[in-house]
């Protein structure tokens, strides 16, 4: 399943692997078949969405800039 009403091409279906809660923002690690995607969202959003470890989610990735550093 993908979300059709959002104009984002990079959608990664996965499961919440870990939530690191903060007072204002939280880190949410999503395990996908392509690796871990980490999102930093408000803790209120974590609660409103009812996110827990094991929740099925879709990570929506949109970037207006991609930076590259030489190794």
Tell me if 29 is assigned to some domain: yes
The per-residue pLDDT for 68 is 55
Residue 25 lies in a domain: yes
What pLDDT is recorded for position 69? Answer: 60
39: CATH: 2.40.50.100
Decide if 68 is inside a domain: no
Supply the pLDDT for residue 4.
Answer: 61
Are the beta carbons of 40 and 26 closer than 8 angstroms? Answer: yes
The predicted-structure confidence for 26-43, as pLDDT tens digits, reads as follows 999 999 998 998 889 999
Residue 44's contacts (CB-CB under 8 Å, 6 or more residues apart) are: none
Q: Is 1 within a domain? A: no
Q: Which domain holds residue 51?
A: 10-60
Burial class (CB in 10 A: 0-12, 13-18, 19+), 69: exposed
| Rounded average pLDDT over 23-28 | 95
In eight-state DSSP terms, residue 20 is E
Give the pLDDT band of residue 65 (cuts 50, 70, 90): low
Asked whether residue 6 carries a pLDDT value surpassing 70, the answer given is: no
């Amino acid at each position: 399943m993908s979300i059709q009403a959002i104009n984002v091409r990079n959608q990664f279906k996965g499961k919440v692997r870990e939530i690191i809660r903060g007072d204002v923002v939280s880190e949410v690690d999503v395990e996908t078949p392509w690796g871990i995607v980490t999102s930093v969202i408000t803790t209120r959003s974590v609660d409103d969405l009812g996110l827990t470890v094991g929740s099925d989610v879709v990570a929506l990735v949109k970037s207006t800039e991609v930076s590259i550093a030489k190794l």
